[in-house]
Each structure stands twice: as structure tokens, then as C-alpha cells.
Structure 1
Amino acid sequence: MAAAEVEEPVRRKHKAMMNRSDEHRNAVPDGSLRGDWRQLKEELKAALPELGIDKLGVASAEPFTELKQILLNHREKGHESGFEEKDIEKRVDPALTLAEPRSILSIAIAYPSKLHDPPRSEPGAYRGILSRSAWGMDYHHVLRNRLERLEAWLVERVPGARVQSMVDTGALVDRAVAERAGIGWLGKNCSVITPEFGSWVFLGEMITNIPLPPDQPVTESCGDCTLCIDACPTGALVGPGQLNAQRCVSYLTQTKGIIEDDELKRKIGNRLYGCDTCQIVCPKNKGVHFGHHPEFVPDPEQVKPLLKPLLFMSNREFKERFGTSSASWRGRKPIQRNAILALGNFRDASSVPQLAELLRKDERPEIRATAAWALGRIGGESAREALAVALEREGDEAARREIGKALHTLNESGRVNEHGNDEV
């Protein structure tokens, strides 16, 4: 995900194709090959460039016993996103995903952190931003392709191999696997930080019955640094390596429905999908940029789009604009809602006519409710009039409540148009 992303979402539309098991008739690799596993691992690591993989580590397939209580505490505190695998036993025991596992291969693919010559927001032409994890092609497809190459390489050399590959759609916690496999360490921002690529990496894993020797974990750590915790816009990083997903901006941008908390609406800023703040401030990411995978090269107009054209975007237009990006997995509505929030946070007076039209005509209550909030934040007589008319005709209770709150704010403050909110 993306920036100190929440527990990477369970994307049901991808699950069938990524969480697949290719089981061969021979249940266990030929015992006569036992002495060759270290050599096989060395050959595999030498083949990584041709496989399109930047880093690979091997972990034992023992249960992640130390993780179970952490996940239980996380659930008891109400800090889960709801996108995770519900069965905690499956999240900590590889044998519940593949019978008789012997090792887990963790792969990392670097993605770019810098956008060259980005378009700039201007008054009346403000822009939103997608998280770097959503730049270029959907990383699920890219990782799946690399895992398929890896699988073919292994099966060619070990005909009795059984594997099950997954990205963030599988049961296992990919960051725990990566940490055990020596890919990197778990940062205080909840991202795996690699010595080579910082935290700008996508993770995938493959459980197998091939007994490859494990790698050693990385001993580096974040030390006393707390920049990510201090910089988190909503205080979602409640401790080192501890995330309250319910307050994470990345999670909020992916939710559907009305965001009730006005403070959280403001903290979203102009983010349309995801949040990179806790990765941007990380010293381990300073000066780190890898753009060598063409699939992830961003289109500036896609990742920093003008906001107003998004408001009335059809499903077809949405698919044309965002369909190849991982930002599309939740559909059109969250991005349109977030675009409305961004216009409100920019206090863009020029958008009042479009917001008033949404308030008047859009069939979706969450869009009307969010438009009302944005109009209340922008202010001005035109916004007030649009809200007053909408209040009389609104039939949805939640949308009506937002309209009433916005009107109350304007009537109390008598606020006129104002500008503010620096772009993220």
C-alpha cells in the first residue's frame, strides 16, 4: 500500500488469481536432492535480475507464534482495518495455507518515490494526489507476474515442488514474512525498511515444500527516531510499529460511505488514494528513488489529476483513467468523495457551482453529504443558498445531518470565501 499503508487490503477481485496453489503429484522433493538446496538458493539469487525481482529472502515455515498475541491485541483495541484475513490462525500458521511447508520465499520489488516535473495546483485548477503505491500498473499484477516466473524457475529444477503464492491478498502477514526472511526490518511506520531500497518496496511471498536454507534477519533498526510517529497526520501510529487503521489516512481514503469525523476530513487534505507521509519523513528513504521497473513509471496527469473533472466522472471514464492502477480496487465513489474533500480543504470558491450541483442532483447520499461539508468549509453566500435549498429537500438522514452542520457553521461564523490548505 503504500505509505505506511494500513494492513494491506484483501482485494477480493484479485484473490482467486493471486492466492493460487500449483500442486504437483509428488508431495515432497526427492530426498536425494537434499544436499543441493544451498546451491539451488545461490543459483536462484543469481537469477533474480532475469526474473525481475529486486530482492529475495528465505524464511522458515514455522508458525509466527510471537505474532499471534500482537494480532489479538490489535483486534481487541479495534485497530484493524477490516481488510485483513479474519482467521488469525491462518495469518500465523503457513501450514494452514499449504500442507507440510518447508520454507517461505519473500520477494521485494522497488517502486519509484519521485515524480519528475509534476503538474502544480493553481487557484481554480487544484489537483489531488495518489499514493506512490498506486503509481503505474497495479502492483498486484506485477508481483503476480514475478511470482509466476519464480514458480516456473523452481518447478523446472524441482519437479516435485508445491507452492502457493500471494501478494497482500493472502492469509500471511507479508511484513512478518519479509522481516523473518531478511528483506528488511519492521519500521516504526509499520513498513518493512530494506537497506537497499528503503521502504519503497512491494512485497510478495511463496510458501513451498522445498527446504531452502533460511536467511538471517536484518539487524538494523530505526533506533531512537520517531519522525514518522510525530508526522502522522491523524496520530494513527499509536506506537512504534503499531497502527490504528481506523485513523490512518490511507485507510480512510479507501473506505466507502460518509467520513463522519470532521477532523479526519480535514487531515485527508488533497489525498485521493493512500498516504505517504510516514515514508516521506523517514531518514532511511532520504534520496532513495528507483524507477527501473517500467510498469511503475507514473503518468503525472493520472497520479496528480485535476480535481474538478473527477466530480462527474462516469464509470467508463473512471476505468479509462484509473483502471490499471491499484487505486481502482474500491471503485469510483471513494475517489470522487475524496476529490470533494480536497476541494473543500483547498477552500476553492470556483468549485462551488459544481459542488452545489452534486448536492442537488447526485443520487448517492455520501456524495451529497460530502459536498455539503465542502460547501460549508468554503463558505460564501452561494454555498449558503445551496445548502439551505438542499436542507429542505434532502431525504437521507445522514446527508441531511451533514447539510445541517454545514449551514450551522456558516450561520455561526458568517464566513466569506477564504483560501488556505497547502497541498500535500
Structure 2
Amino acid sequence: MRTARNRNFDLTRLAADIKAWGRELGFQRIGIADTELGAAESYLLNWLDRGRHGEMSYMKSHGTRRSQPQEILSGTVRVISARLDYLPDQAADSEAVMRDPQRGFISRYALGRDYHKLLRTRLHKLATRIESCVGPFQYRAFSDSAPVLEKALAEKAGLGWIGKHTNLIDKEAGSWFFLGELYTDLPLPVDAAADNHCGSCHACLDICPTQAIVAPYELDARRCISYLTIELRGSIPEELRPLMGNRIYGCDDCQLVCPWNRFAQPTSEPDFAPRHGLDTPELINLFSWTEEEFLKKTEGSAIRRIGYECWLRNIAVALGNAPKDAAIIGALKTRRDHASGLVREHVAWALGRHAAPSSLPRE
């Protein structure tokens, strides 16, 4: 196939057009980076060697595919990085939900439609627009859907800097956004990397419930509530369970406390609006869902990926962290003989918490 590299066109103009087309498609910002990720690769390999990826064995099995884009798509010379804001303005106040132990907290990115397909579809539309201008070219779209160092690439593309909590921060928009990428063989001009503006702030390190941010810019996933509630498929370490409070899917604490998020703007995407009242759900109600209800009410949601068993596991921990209450104890007892040993274990732990008054007050 003849590629766009063989055609004569103004690459600087094309880069500007790509950014304009991206905004027309609903992206808040587009940046362009080269593929040199040496420093990020060293960081990643050191992080893996320390075992901080926990049971996410796939991260190690990918080798250098994350840091060498050409291993994913041969001929890649540039990465078009895209930002899509997701903070829903209709959602209940996060801190108010976390202060109510009768309710469950779900990370705000997961309240609406699963972003993976939406973001990739939009990236494909952008690629089609480029193709209509320059002719056939090589590309591949990603949205947390392959081994890609998306934050390092976005930082190089000028979309923000990687903060001390290891999330990407834009000084004009905070961190409540998704990232997506187009790998391409188009030799576009690259953008300047973003400067770091964390300064002496350490609010994210101080707020982390499980102290998973072990040092500035260093996250131990094995302690992170997002890992424990989403990625981990087995038993949650007992010493970490009391620290999880009522967080049943992900954790936003480090973003909520970040001073740069005072500049964040609510998303205009209707697909990211909360569904089924999951922005402020009652734990007992969630715990009563049958598997069929779980599958129905998480259809099209990122939450479904953890499965029903881990869903009950997470809620059992939250119920164990709630103040002693007859209704909560009654709800837990309905799952005491659940078919899943994983669920039974966490229910037994939760019931044990309520049988030990000295463990109160709870998170």
C-alpha cells in the first residue's frame, strides 16, 4: 500500500489541522510526540523489578513493548496523543459520599459508559479525517487497550506532566481526563514536553489511604485501592482492608486533593453521566444484587470487568468498615454461605469486625 510518507504535503499545517479536527471531534487537546522513551523505559523496568506491579503479570510479560512503539506497530515514528475530559457535573459530591459509610464510593471515571470503545471510535474518526487529506497512511488507535506508556507519551506531547501521584496533570485542566493515542508513520513536527509544576506540594502522598504513593512519583500498586478493587482477583490483604473505607471500585483521593484540579471543568459528554445512581449508592442495596442484576446494571460500564465475585468481595469489605448496624450485619449474613470462597472469606472478615466493638470507630 502506498503511504502518506511518499506524498508531498505541509507537515506543519497538517499537525495544526489534526489538532483542530481533534477539537471538532470532542477532544479537549491533541499533542504530538516522538517515540523515544528511554527514561520512561528505565523507570518501568525498575518498577517491575521491584514487584510493584503486584499480580499484573501481563505488564512484565510485555517486555519492552510499552516503551518501544515500533514493537507494536512497525514503522511508527510519531504518536498523536489525545485528551478527553470525563468529570461528570451531575455526580454527587465525592467527599460527601466517602464520609457516608452506608454508601459506596466508585471512582468517577467509571460512573458512566466505558470509555475504551468511545475513545477508540473517536480516534478512528480522526484517522479517517487525516486520511481524507493525505491519503492512506499507517496508524493504530489505542485507549488503554494495549501495552502503551500513555502518560509518558502524553507528557512528551505537551498534554501535561506526570505528577507525584503518577497521574498526568494539565495546569489548565487538572487530571480528570482519559488519554488515547494514534501510532503513526507520519513524520509530524513534535510538541514541546510539558514542565513539571508539582513543586513542594505533597498533598497526594499525605492523603493516600493506604500510603501506596511510597515516594514522590513512585506508586506501589500492591497497596493502591484501585489495584486492590479492580486488578486484584484474589484475597485483599487483611491489613489493608480497614484502610479502604467505603471505596468499592477505584479511589480518587489523590485527584480530589490535588490543587491543580480546581481548574478542572465538567465534561460535556453525556455518555459519562452517572448511571443507576452509582454516584451515591447504598451498600446494602448493591450487596443484594443478583449476578443478573449486576450484569444488567453494569452493561456498557468499566465496572463489569471486575466480575460479580470481586464486586461482592469489595462491598463486603466496605460493609465491614461501616459502623455496627443490625441491617448491615443482616445483609452480610445473607452471603455468609455464598458459593464463592473468596466472597465467604471477606464476609467472615466483615462480620468479625462487627463482632469486635474495640475496632470502632471505622474509616
Tell me if both proteins adopt one fold, taking TM over 0.5 as the criterion.
Answer: yes
SS for the counterpart of 1:303 is coil
CA distance in 1, matches of 2:132, 2:178: 26
Deviation at 1:85, TM superposition (A): 6.0
SS for the counterpart of 1:331 is helix
Structure 1 residues 86, 196: CA separation in 2 closer, same or farther (over 3 Å shift)? farther
Deviation at 1:321, TM superposition (A): 1.3
- For the pair shown, the structure with the greater C-alpha radius of gyration is 1
Is 1:139 matched up with 2:118?
no
Q: 2:31 — aligned with what?
A: 57
Query: Does the 8 A contact of 1:29 with 1:160 survive in 2?
Result: no
Identical positions, percent: 33
Which of 228, 236, 258 is residue 282 of structure 1 equivalent to? 258
Is 1:351 matched up with 2:328?
yes
Which of 78, 86, 105 is residue 61 of structure 2 equivalent to? 86
Is 1:421 matched up with 2:358?
no
Query: Does the 8 A contact of 1:184 with 1:192 survive in 2?
Result: yes
CA distance in 2, matches of 1:229, 1:363: 39
Q: 1:107 — aligned with what?
A: 82
Q: 1:43 — aligned with what?
A: 17
Structure 1 residues 289, 300: CA separation in 2 closer, same or farther (over 3 Å shift)? farther
- Residue type of the partner of 1:378? H
Correspondences of 1:390-405 after superposition (within 5 Å)? none
SS for the counterpart of 1:252 is helix
Deviation at 1:180, TM superposition (A): 0.6
Deviation at 1:80, TM superposition (A): 1.0
Which of 177, 186, 193 is residue 210 of structure 1 equivalent to? 186
Query: Does the 8 A contact of 2:31 with 2:82 survive in 1?
Result: yes
CA distance in 1, matches of 2:253, 2:233: 22
Is 1:194 matched up with 2:170?
yes
Which of 158, 177, 194 is residue 153 of structure 2 equivalent to? 177
Q: 1:322 — aligned with what?
A: 298
- Residue type of the partner of 1:352? I
RMSD (CA atoms): 2.3
Q: 1:370 — aligned with what?
A: 346
Q: 1:342 — aligned with what?
A: 318
Query: Does the 8 A contact of 2:69 with 2:148 survive in 1?
Result: yes
CA distance in 1, matches of 2:99, 2:156: 49
CA distance in 2, matches of 1:117, 1:219: 33
Query: Does the 8 A contact of 1:106 with 1:205 survive in 2?
Result: yes
CA distance in 1, matches of 2:156, 2:98: 46
Query: Does the 8 A contact of 1:129 with 1:303 survive in 2?
Result: yes
Query: Does the 8 A contact of 1:302 with 1:321 survive in 2?
Result: no
Q: 2:41 — aligned with what?
A: 68
SS for the counterpart of 2:65 is helix
CA distance in 1, matches of 2:4, 2:98: 62
Deviation at 1:275, TM superposition (A): 0.3
Query: Does the 8 A contact of 1:56 with 1:108 survive in 2?
Result: yes
Deviation at 1:165, TM superposition (A): 1.0
CA distance in 2, matches of 1:80, 1:194: 26
Deviation at 1:121, TM superposition (A): 7.0
Deviation at 1:278, TM superposition (A): 0.7
Q: 1:257 — aligned with what?
A: 234
Q: 1:126 — aligned with what?
A: 102
Query: Does the 8 A contact of 1:74 with 1:80 survive in 2?
Result: yes
Deviation at 1:136, TM superposition (A): 0.9
Deviation at 1:287, TM superposition (A): 5.1
Query: Does the 8 A contact of 1:58 with 1:106 survive in 2?
Result: yes
Structure 2 gaps of 5+ residues are none
Deviation at 1:306, TM superposition (A): 1.4
- Equivalent residue pairs, number: 358
- Residue type of the partner of 2:79? I
Correspondences of 1:25-36 after superposition (within 5 Å)? 25-33=1-9, 36=10
Structure 1 gaps of 5+ residues are 1-24, 380-409
SS for the counterpart of 1:202 is strand
CA distance in 2, matches of 1:226, 1:98: 38
Deviation at 1:195, TM superposition (A): 2.3
Deviation at 1:343, TM superposition (A): 1.0
Deviation at 1:196, TM superposition (A): 2.5
Moved more, 184-193 or 142-151: 142-151
Query: Does the 8 A contact of 1:30 with 1:160 survive in 2?
Result: no
CA distance in 2, matches of 1:229, 1:118: 22
Q: 2:286 — aligned with what?
A: 310
1:152-191 superposed Cα distances (whole Å, 9 cap, x missing partner): 1111112231101111121221001101111100100100
Deviation at 1:71, TM superposition (A): 1.4
Query: Does the 8 A contact of 1:337 with 1:370 survive in 2?
Result: yes
- Residue type of the partner of 2:25? L
CA distance in 2, matches of 1:89, 1:267: 34
Q: 1:16 — aligned with what?
A: none
Q: TM-score, normalised by structure 1?
A: 0.79
Structure 1 residues 237, 123: CA separation in 2 closer, same or farther (over 3 Å shift)? closer
- Residue type of the partner of 2:50? K
Query: Does the 8 A contact of 1:118 with 1:300 survive in 2?
Result: no
Q: TM-score, normalised by structure 2?
A: 0.92
